[in-house]
A and B are shown apart, each in its own frame.
Chain A
Amino acid sequence: MADYSIWVVEYARVVEFARAILTYGKWNEGTLVAPYCYAVIKGEGHLTVVDTGYNHVELGAQLAEGYGVSDWQPADVVLKRIGVDPADVDTVILTHNHFDHAGGVEFFPNAHVYIQAREVSKYMWASGLPDRLQWITSATDPDLMLWLVGRLKQGKLTLLDGESEIFPGLRAIPAHDTHTAGSQYVTIENERDGRWLLAGDNCYVYENFTGAYGDGRFTPIGLVFGSVERCVLTMEDMWQYVAGEVTRIIPFHEQRIWDHFPTREFDDTLHVAELSLADGEQSRVEGQVAVG
């Protein structure tokens, strides 16, 4: 077992995010604030990010406008808050290739990138389908794929075929045919404080686990490119991993993260939550780090 520090950094938010997207079936039930986050894991001699945010130019800006994203900050700004330089990040694990998770890969020029091969192969399959079926590919863009080719040529890309231990105690777990064809989530097993699970978009909010109306029935997310059934069964796998302790599952669009963990709010109102601190590691949320 290992000893990792884990932070969740907020890099943007949607102030009015349709609840029906966050929780399946919540039609016409208004909106919630949905943060846009990724995670930083430090330990075992590595600095890893799980997802990357997006770059607010070109397609990123276009999509952000469509969703109503505000308060965006680039990786160098938000990571400085925990004393991390993006150039020092040696590992990127992409939970899936949507713009708000994978669109910031270029912020991490020295990182080895891990993504499920299925996230690539299914797009190759879908791109050969008739135009009337291209909604399937409508959340991906060739630019990221071309970038991944470049990273492969540099020997800095691994296409995962199923479950994989990236570093001791840090695993990528496939969640295929859920939110996307080749989604994955990340588990961390800390000797000091137990299990953590970084969900990607395999859940958006805790409510997906506690039930849309608090009845404890898992209610999946509302934007599914794969199978809703697979989403629910994947949530069961996640729930089992943390033995039902749902706050050990970290959804990257859940604003209540800030209530559950030591958190610092910065001048631009974005947050950093500190999930776990390895032995000898200083807190980043208690004012030791100068903010940009």
Chain B
Amino acid sequence: MSTVLDTAPEQAVRELYTRYKALALSTSASLLLEGELAPIAEQVDALVADCEAAGARRDALGRQTTACAEAAASLRPLLSRDPTPEALAHARETHLRLRRAVWEVIPCEYVPCCASTHDHHERRS
């Protein structure tokens, strides 16, 4: 987890965002399939802590790390097995906010974005 602190800000955001996405997918899939949620809770807490630590760096991309911490934290109420509609709505809202913020500094990671012909580096300017 601490490797995030040793990397460039953009790379740190990418790593945190990747971890968040995996947890968001795991959380929702576990809720749909009645899978185990307890192991996810530990990882969510660790991610929130890492986002906060990364955000404290002098050169941090603060908006992105804050958005990632918020999105990760919004998964926590979903791990109760029976999340409220409000908790689900909040998780979706923070997810969208994070995604928007992340795409300001790293390329859209979805297929087909990375198969397209546009210059990803243009997005960074």
Contacts and interface: CB of A to CB of B under 8 A. Distances in A.
Interface of A: 58-59, 62-63, 65-68, 99, 117, 120-121, 123-124, 127-128, 131, 134-135, 137-143, 145-150, 152-153, 157, 159, 223
A103 to B, nearest CB: 11
B5 interface: no
Contacts of B35: 124
A149 B113 contact: no
B58 to A, nearest CB: 26
Interface in B9-27: 15, 18, 21-26
13 contacts: A66-B118, A124-B25, A124-B26, A127-B23, A127-B29, A134-B109, A138-B114, A143-B95, A146-B24, A146-B88, A148-B32, A150-B85, A153-B85
Given A127-B25, A135-B111, A140-B25, 7 more contacts: A59-B99, A66-B115, A120-B32, A134-B22, A137-B25, A143-B92, A153-B83
A137 B29 contact: no
A150 B84 CA distance: 9
B110 A63 contact: yes
Nearest to B26: A127
* Interface of A: prevailing SS: helix
Contact of A139 (B15, B24, B110): B110
A141 B110 contact: yes
A67 B85 contact: no
B62 to A, nearest CB: 22
Given A62-B108, A131-B15, A152 B31 contact: yes
Interface residues of B, number: 38
B2 interface: no
A64 B102 CA distance: 18
Given A58-B96, A134-B18, A138-B111, A148 B118 contact: no
A145 B92 CA distance: 10
A59 B29 contact: no
Contacts of A65: 116, 118
Interface of B: 15, 18, 21-26, 28-33, 35, 78, 82-83, 85, 88-89, 91-92, 95-96, 99-100, 103, 108-116, 118
A148 B28 contact: yes
Given A66-B116, A145-B24, A138 B110 contact: yes
Nearest to A98: B111
A146 B28 contact: yes
A101 to B, nearest CB: 13
Nearest to B25: A127
A138 B112 CA distance: 8
Contacts of A140: 25
Contact of A142 (B21, B85, B116, B118): B21
B31 A159 contact: no
A157 B33 CA distance: 12
B104 to A, nearest CB: 12
A108 B31 CA distance: 22
| Residue of B31, B32, B35, B99 with highest tally of chain A CB at under 10 A | B32
A117 to B, nearest CB: 7
A121 B15 CA distance: 23
A62 to B, nearest CB: 5
Contacts of A134: 18, 22, 109
Contacts of B18: 131, 134
Contacts of B100: 58
Contacts of B26: 124, 127-128
Nearest to A63: B110
A157 B29 CA distance: 13
Contact of A62 (B15, B91, B113): B113
